Amino acid sequence: MSGKIRSNLGRSTADKVYVRGRDLSADLIGKVSLGDFAFFELKGRLPDARQSLMFNALAVTLVEHGLTPSAIAARLTSYGAPEALQAAVAAGLLGMGDRFGGSIEDAARLLQEADPDQDPRVVAREIVAAHRERKQPLPGLGHPVHRPEDPRTTRLFELADETGFNGRFVELMKLLAAEASKAAGRQLPVNATGAIAAIASEMGFPWRITRGLAVMARAIGLVAHLQEEIEHPMAPEIWARTEEEAARENPS
């Protein structure tokens, strides 16, 4: 067999576990926080102080957002399959697709594929025009609940200024918001997914993996939802509110 299977992430010997080439027990456990370790897993090097602050902030932002469809699906799955908590978390993560996690990915892609050598004002204008022509909304802008501004965006951009992750991707994201608002005749501020996309791009995360930042963070939130569900089940009531109504609408 000539094919090669080689992962640079982890491997074990009789007396050691290595992660990214470092001895897990001697060098990492008890010395590195979970967020810094996640950065290390993804990047292959430990974060410096600025990277640590910014990366942990991005991840923290994505952990918990209330009774989202994803959290509800996890709870309903736990009701049917109490033996397998991992399956309920998985069911919840399956909803972190194009509509949620995907908007980070789409925004990051837009930013990363933009020509770095062109005037960002021109780039922003062209992107907005192209989306309007295709009647496609711009990812990372606007929010149905948080108006006029998404409070997470304000905070994340402050931290980006503090840590220096406020380069051309953040600038372009803000220009997109300004151009899109002007074109639409209403405020379309950068939302949390847009801010995360821009800052993750500043930190060198390829757009294809940005959805994964939401997935790994939300896994934590889903475990907390399932802990709450075990203690105070709400799945039966969610079910009753859905099917009860259906029964009334479909009298036999």
Residues numbered 39-58 forming contacts with its own copies, rule: CB under 8 A: 41-42, 52-53, 56-57
Check residue 161 for interaction with its own copies (CB under 8 A): no
Check residue 131 for interaction with its own copies (CB under 8 A): no
Which residue's CB is nearer to its own copies, number 179 or number 210? Answer: 210
In sequence order, which residues have a C-beta less than 8 Å from that of residue 113 and are 6 or more positions away?
207
DSSP-based three-state secondary structure for 12: strand
Query: Residue 183 in contact with residue 145, Cβ under 8 Å?
Result: no
DSSP 79: H
Alpha helices in the chain (DSSP H): 34-43, 49-62, 69-80, 85-94, 101-113, 120-133, 151-163, 168-184, 192-202, 207-231, 235-249
Query: Residue 235 in contact with residue 78, Cβ under 8 Å?
Result: yes
In sequence order, which residues have a C-beta less than 8 Å from that of residue 223 and are 6 or more positions away?
85, 89
Which region among 107-115, 128-136, 139-147, 165-173 touches its own copies (by CB under 8 A)? Answer: 139-147
Among 51, 76, 124, 189, binds its own copies (CB under 8 A): 76
| Subset of 208-237 contacting its own copies (CB under 8 A) | 208-209, 211-213, 215-217, 219-228, 230, 232, 234-235, 237
Check residue 65 for interaction with its own copies (CB under 8 A): yes
Question: What does residue 17 show for φ and ψ, rounded to 5 degrees?
Answer: -120, 130
CB of 189 to its own copies, least distance (A): 12
Check residue 103 for interaction with its own copies (CB under 8 A): no
Which residue's CB is nearer to its own copies, number 185 or number 251? Answer: 251
Check residue 249 for interaction with its own copies (CB under 8 A): yes
Which residue's CB is nearer to its own copies, number 80 or number 119? Answer: 80
